[in-house]
Structure 1
Amino acid sequence: MIIGVLGPSGTYSDKAASLWIEKECNSISRDVSLKYCGDFIDTFDSIVNNEADIGIVPVENSIEGSVGVTLDLLMEHEVQIIGEVIVPIEHCLLSKGKIGDIRVILSHPQALGQCRQFIKSHFPHAEIRTTGSTSHAAKLATEFEEMAAIASRESASKYRLNVLLCNIQDCNNNHTRFIVFRKKHEADDLVWKNIDANTTEQADKTKLSLPHRTSIIVYLDRDRPGALYDLLGEFATRKINLTRIESRPSKRILGDYLFYIDFAGNISDTIIKDALNNILPKAGMMKVLGSYVMM
């Protein structure tokens, strides 16, 4: 099995992959290897182009919120979410030099956002540069003593950098939720449409007994008062708990949005099927991203 993740080695996506492999090791009979990708677009492309079997990307952070590019790519590609991994994030300041040497701070935009107040308080005059990943920032920081990276402890060890400061994120309770996804199969949509489909998940009775989360994308192309209220009412009347709802621009015209909705339940459950089938005629488009065991 090949897993596509954001590279180079040492990213938090790398850590998420390790946690997922550890959790799923009993069900994986093949050798597992990682394919390091340049960015999230490359990660999705590796799955769609059959260069990797599954991909793991961040979807939301407890400080910075949703990862917009991941949400957009879920809409653009035919993929299926099959799992999630919650990773505790501990950002460290890494450098070859000392704190007094630092003139440039590098990291991924999400990490920089999670350490915004720290940077402002401690390095108000430092030049901030964005990189494709936290580990890429660590790799670049090996070049000059005046450069520092915001990255993980693992990156410090891998790239032989000094850990100058630890836990520099603005909030201590910093966690990122990663999704595990694969290329979509024809049978994936049959489950909630009440058509028999012998999917792997249906056959796994142990997993079916665990709490599940389902993710969908809905587009309301008829702009009318109460349209979103009517859609959400299908969940409320059935006492289905929404765990997340967020809007993203549809990229068609200004003020036009897609709604990303996560809720508790499995698409193989009768009550969930009923809700989705009642939402379908009220929506201009509904895309079911998948059901997976909730962490």
Structure 2
Amino acid sequence: MIIGVLGPRGSYSDKATQLWLTREHPFSKDVSLKYCGDFIDTFDSVVNNEADIGIVPVENSIEGSVGVTLDLLLEHDIQIIGEVVVPIEHCLLSKGEIEDIRVILSHPQALGQCRQFIKSHFPHAEIRTTGSTSHAAKLATEFEEMAAIASRESAGMYGLNVLLCDIQDCNNNHTRFIVFRKKQEIDDIIWKNRDKNTIEQNDKTSLPHRTSIIVYLDRDRPGALYDLLGEFATRKINLTRIESRPSKRILGDYVFYIDFAGNISDTIIKDALNNVLPKAGMMKVLGSYVMM
């Protein structure tokens, strides 16, 4: 099994992958990681059959959703098969000492999660964005005046000193990662009329499941979203997340990302989606997977 993951080695995506493997494939030895330069490359590696599955972050408890991941979920025919929640402990890493720091490097999400820390402790430092936190750690090895915001594990991997720990602005910092694979040709993930009912069904288990969908309302009218969400409310289906993203067609036009509790193989979920379908211009079912 080849897993596409944001690199280089030591990223939080790397950590999420190790946690998922420990949980889902604890005895598997035939696994290799394909480190990718960014999220686009990670999706492309799966779509182009260079990796069997991919693992990317989708939302953080401080900074919210990862926009590029949401966009790529809409653009590509993939299926979410799992999720991993990773506690995030950002550290300040450098070859030098605190008084030497002139430049701080990290991924934009990590920089956002440490915004107040940077403002309070390094108000005059130059901030540079990198493709990942581990990439920042790798770059920080070049000069003593450079520091990276990255994981504690990255310090050991790249020979850096841990200057400060737990520097994120909120202690309860977690990132949810999704595990996805390429959608099979026989699957029907985009419903364009209510007669289509071929849906990927997960094995039923006693574990709680989450289902993720994307909905586009092409008819702008008062109460359109209210009517759609009512299909879940009347069936007492718990929505765990709902978010809008620009459709990139015109200003003010949106697609909606909806997560809810339940398995797509459940009768009540099928019934809800069949009733949502005629109210939507497009509905894309991303998959059902065990909720962590």
Does structure 1 residue 183 correspond to structure 2 residue 173?
no
1:23 is matched with 23
Evaluate the alpha carbon distance shift between residue 40 and residue 15 of structure 1 in structure 2; reply closer, same or farther with a 3 A threshold. Answer: same
Structure 2 counterpart of 1:182, one-letter code: R
Change (3 A) 1:29 1:158: closer
**1:268 and 2:265 aligned:** yes
Counterpart check, 1:244 vs 2:234: no
Distance 2:230 2:198 in 1: 25
Q: Judging changes above 3 Å, is the alpha-carbon distance between structure 1 residues 79 and 195 closer, same or farther for their aligned structure 2 residues?
A: closer
Q: Aligned residue for 2:156?
A: 157
* Offset, 1:239: 0.2
TM-score in terms of structure 1 length: 0.94
Q: Which amino acid aligns with 1:168?
A: I
Q: How much does 1:21 deviate? A: 0.2
Residue in structure 2 matched with residue 33 of structure 1 by the alignment:
32
1 CA distance for matches of 2:93 and 2:30? 33
How far the C-alpha of 1:209 sits from its partner, in A, is: 2.1
Distance 1:241 1:107 in 2: 36
Q: Aligned-pair RMSD on alpha carbons?
A: 1.5
CA distances 1:240-287 after superposition (whole Å, capped 9, x unpaired): 000000000000000000000000000000000000011001000000
Cα displacement (A) at 1:196: 8.4
Corresponding residue number in structure 2 for 1:84: 83
Distance 2:2 2:85 in 1: 21
> What is the TM-score normalised by the length of structure 2?
0.95
Is 1:143 aligned to 2:179, yes or no?
no
**How far 1:25 moved relative to its partner?**
1.4
Alpha-carbon separation, structure 2, partners of 1:92 and 1:174: 13
Identity %: 88
What's the counterpart of residue 46 of structure 2?
47
Q: Which runs of structure 1 show a deviation greater than 6 angstroms over 4 or more consecutive aligned residues?
A: none
What per-residue deviation string (whole Å, max 9, x for no partner) do you get for residues 104-129 of structure 1? 00000000000000000000000000
Distance in 2, matches of 1:142 and 1:172, equals 27
Alignment equivalent of 1:255, drawn from 252, 256, 260: 252
Query: SS state of the match for residue 118, structure 2?
Result: helix
Closer, same or farther: CA 292–196 of 1 in aligned 2, 3 Å? closer
Does residue 201 of structure 2 align to residue 216 of structure 1?
no
Cα distance in 2 between the residues matched to 1:186 and 1:94: 46
Q: How many residues align?
A: 287
Tell me which residue corresponds to 1:95: 94
* CA–CA separation in structure 1 for the residues paired with 2:23 and 2:230: 36
Q: Which amino acid aligns with 2:8?
A: P
CA distance in 1, matches of 2:283, 2:144: 51
Q: Deviations over 1:220-245 (max 9, x none)?
A: 00000000000000000000000000
What is the DSSP-based 3-state SS (H/G/I as helix, E as strand, rest coil) of the residue aligned with 2:22?
helix
Aligned to 2:167: 168
Change (3 A) 1:30 1:138: closer
Going by fraction, where is helix more abundant, 1 or 2? Answer: 1
Q: Distance in 2 between matches of 1:279 and 1:225?
A: 16
2:187–2:198: 8 Å Cα contact kept in structure 1? no
Q: Report the AA paired with residue 281 of structure 1.
A: P
Aligned mates of 1:244, 1:187 — CA distance in 2:
28
Query: Which whole-Å CA distance do the structure 1 matches of 2:185 and 2:258 have between them?
Result: 22
Give the one of 208, 230, 235 matched to 1:233: 230
Structure 1 residues without counterparts, runs of 5 or longer: none
Partner SS, residue 111 of structure 2 = helix
